[in-house]
Structure 1
Amino acid sequence: MVINENAARKIISIAGGKGGVGKTLISANLALELATHGKDTVVIDLDLGGSNLHTFLGMKNTRTGIGNFLSGMRGSLKDIVHETPYENLRYIPGDVLVPDVADLQFSQKKKLIDNILKLKADYIILDLGPGSNNNVVDFFLISNSGFMVTSGQASSILNAYGFLKNVVFRFIQRAFSSHREITKYLRSVVKERKPGNSVSFEEIVKKVQKIDKRAGTKTETYLSVLKPKIIVNMAKNPDELGMALKLKDLISSSLGIDVECMGLVYFDETVERSIKERVPLARFDEHSIASRDIERIALKIIQSEEFPIMPLDLDYYKDSFELAQIEAQNDYQEIEASRKSDEELNVGELLTVISVQQKQINELRSHIRMLTMKNI
């Protein structure tokens, strides 16, 4: 695992827990924003079996990708790092329609991870697939500070919690993989888990301590390494951060890890238009609200020299969630002001149209009156 705060090259995995939360939009445009601000950036499509990162980058799915790399291609992953039309941004395509790539064998996954760790760049962004199977979780754990993209909807928040719970459990499994008795116990927990009858993480820690007191004490130290972040996407109003705050509290109390919020990205109709035009949002309309929200997240990363440790000014807000709330409130006021301006403009346009039409009606009446008088 790469500990990002100690590394010159930062690796950020971006997961969604489930499809439809805008994970790939965030991946593509976050990478582009980092590159726009002068950072050498590589973005990798790891949504194997459903790769579409190229669409969000405005590129065709015609280049050699991970599907070829895992299907007997000679060479290393650096041989399929492609240039993009955007300065400082390079790209590794995903499955490129090569069949049977989604179900990776252990040897394939290890080969892929080992090669990712050899890539050179300032930032490497990994666009992961949906779900929380071991392959997706292991890609998320390439570094200690992946991003979890969620919406403010309760179902999405629950999916985010389920994903991070699997991340923590998988991390503990790997940490104690050489301890036979603990490994045996953890496997039994996985095997016996049933809906509504899940063993709490606190119970797992107590059992580990009972098996090996020294190993149990290390558990909290291991977990302190994990520093996942949350992005609330496609929000309609700032209140949706409230659900994310509840997720933070649940994760802290149930999983024993702290999460921070990178920010809220508002729902923006410009996104759909940019996809149809095959132009990245950050290039299609850099002034759109979603584009500016993503740029702000990129700047937080860049300005944090020891990212994921962020230099928060706690004199003005208590944590990253309160900062995100302040940002979201300011954005929302701007959205509302713009909406009122558009409504006023529409009313003005409507009055102009009515005035023109009334003039045309009056002219038509005069013309009819003149014709009538001539006939008399």
Structure 2
Amino acid sequence: MTRLPPKAKRLIAVGGGKGGVGKSVVAIALATEWARRGRRVVLADLDLGAANLHSYLGIHHTTPTLARFLRRETDTLDGLLVESGQSGLQLLRGADDVPGLATPQHWMKLKLLRHIRAIDADVVLLDLGAGTAFNTLDFFGAADLGLVVTEPQPAAVMNAYGFIKAAFHRRLQAVFRHHPALADAVEFDLAAPEDQRQFGVDWLRQMAADVAPQATGLIDEIAQAFKPGLIINRSRPDDDNKLVNNLLTLCRNRLGLSIEQLGQLPANDAMRRFQLNIPGFLQQPTAVDLHASVQRIVRQLDKASAAQPSTPPDLSEADQHRLQQLLDTLNTEQLQGRSRDAWKLRVFFRPQDVMALLESHGHSADSLIQN
């Protein structure tokens, strides 16, 4: 694996369970506002089967796309970045209408994420496709922060809940599929038809209680760390707030998640005339209320960024295996009250904690990962 130094200071994914809720427009609005504040911003269109950000930005000429990278025609994303026409904002154009590229293989997905992290920018925004395909959930989970966009309509709100639940479950699966006592059950459930899968927080807790009681604390820790932000798009003064409140209650009571509602973006019928130039619309007098709402959300996100945990190091599977092997060299007293299995699971959740533990017992930072 070619190791790339992470240069992107902040990676934010914008997702949602339902198409047509304005997710791409929200991503562009946030990116435009950050660029206007002097940040270096890259919008990455990761709706690999139906990329459309270029249209909303008014880019209609032929430009390089992610297809070149996914086809291994280039080893870097640098030459694929396109100027958007907005100072400080570049576009990484998605690969649309290319058979097979909408669902890249796992190794290619990891490679793409490593290269996205290596983009030299203050903010990289990932605009994801709709739905809960594993690739979409993995892109969402790889970001420093995930934003879920919905609108105040029953179907859209329930789809947003479904997306949050699926993303959380995917995060748990990514960790507990490596647990020696739970891996077989998790993998068996993942292989089942979707309508027969039982995986959920309660199911995992019960499994852990039976065979790995020490793992239940990690379930709670992962839940506390999983904090996507919620943005309500196309809101109107007469909307029933009960829908959104019910969504937040469902997440809290059924999933144990505390979801923060970052704000609401008002519906604006005048936007229809600017579908091919969303940044231009945000400068119009008719967009004052919408622009003010975007500014409030950006201020909230900037304020919260200082409290975000550090970005996990870029580890290959070989690195993860090596960290687990090194944990076997520590005695019980050196494990700081955690079981060895619990530490090994942290390799897939917070590897920086594992590396800090090993460094405290004489392993140099350079020796922990392979170059």
Question: What TM-score do you get using the length of structure 1 for normalisation?
Answer: 0.74
Distance of 1:307 and 1:283 partners within structure 2:
31
Identical residues among aligned pairs (%): 27
Pairwise CA distance, 1:137:
0.1
Pairwise CA distance, 1:82:
2.1
Q: Counterparts of 1:264-343 in structure 2 under 5 Å? A: 264-276=264-276, 280-285=280-285, 287-306=287-306
SS at match of 1:237: coil
SS at match of 1:283: coil
Matched with 2:217 is 217
Count residues with an aligned counterpart: 303
Matched with 1:332 is none
Compared CA separation, residues 243 and 24, structure 1 to 2 (3 A): same
Pairwise CA distance, 1:264:
0.7
Tell me, yes or no, if the aligned pair for 1:235 and 1:264 is still in contact at 8 Å: yes
Equivalent residue letter for 1:49: G
Matched with 2:231 is 231
Tell me, yes or no, if the aligned pair for 1:232 and 1:241 is still in contact at 8 Å: no
Matched with 2:119 is 119
**Residue-by-residue CA offset, 1:165-209 (whole Å, 9 max, x unaligned):** 111111011112322431221233345576599565223222123
Distance of 1:286 and 1:301 partners within structure 2:
25
Equivalent residue letter for 2:296: R
Matched with 2:169 is 169
SS at match of 1:39: coil
Pairwise CA distance, 1:305:
4.3
Pairwise CA distance, 1:278:
6.7
Compared CA separation, residues 222 and 286, structure 1 to 2 (3 A): same
SS at match of 1:202: helix
Matched with 1:251 is 251
Tell me, yes or no, if the aligned pair for 1:18 and 1:130 is still in contact at 8 Å: yes
Distance of 1:128 and 1:209 partners within structure 2:
36
SS at match of 1:14: strand
Structure 2: gaps (5+ residues): 1-6, 310-371
- Name which one, 1 or 2, has greater alpha-carbon Rg: 1
Tell me, yes or no, if the aligned pair for 2:49 and 2:101 is still in contact at 8 Å: yes
Tell me, yes or no, if the aligned pair for 2:25 and 2:278 is still in contact at 8 Å: no
Distance of 1:122 and 1:220 partners within structure 2:
31
More helix by share: 1
Matched with 2:32 is 32
**Residue-by-residue CA offset, 1:258-290 (whole Å, 9 max, x unaligned):** 110110111111221111567543235574432
Equivalent residue letter for 1:20: G
Q: Counterparts of 1:92-241 in structure 2 under 5 Å? A: 92-191=92-191, 200-237=200-237, 239-241=239-241
Matched with 1:62 is 62
Compared CA separation, residues 198 and 237, structure 1 to 2 (3 A): farther
Matched with 1:326 is none
Tell me, yes or no, if the aligned pair for 2:29 and 2:279 is still in contact at 8 Å: no
Compared CA separation, residues 108 and 235, structure 1 to 2 (3 A): same
Compared CA separation, residues 288 and 91, structure 1 to 2 (3 A): same
**Residue-by-residue CA offset, 1:308-329 (whole Å, 9 max, x unaligned):** 69xxxxxxxxxxxxxxxxxxxx
Q: Which moved more, 1:70-79 or 1:36-45?
A: 70-79
Compared CA separation, residues 210 and 44, structure 1 to 2 (3 A): same
Compared CA separation, residues 94 and 17, structure 1 to 2 (3 A): same
Distance of 2:27 and 2:176 partners within structure 1:
32
**Residue-by-residue CA offset, 1:129-185 (whole Å, 9 max, x unaligned):** 011010000000112420000111111111111111111111011112322431221
Tell me, yes or no, if the aligned pair for 1:236 and 1:267 is still in contact at 8 Å: yes
Distance of 2:171 and 2:163 partners within structure 1:
12
Pairwise CA distance, 1:224:
1.4
Compared CA separation, residues 213 and 61, structure 1 to 2 (3 A): farther
Distance of 1:217 and 1:197 partners within structure 2:
23
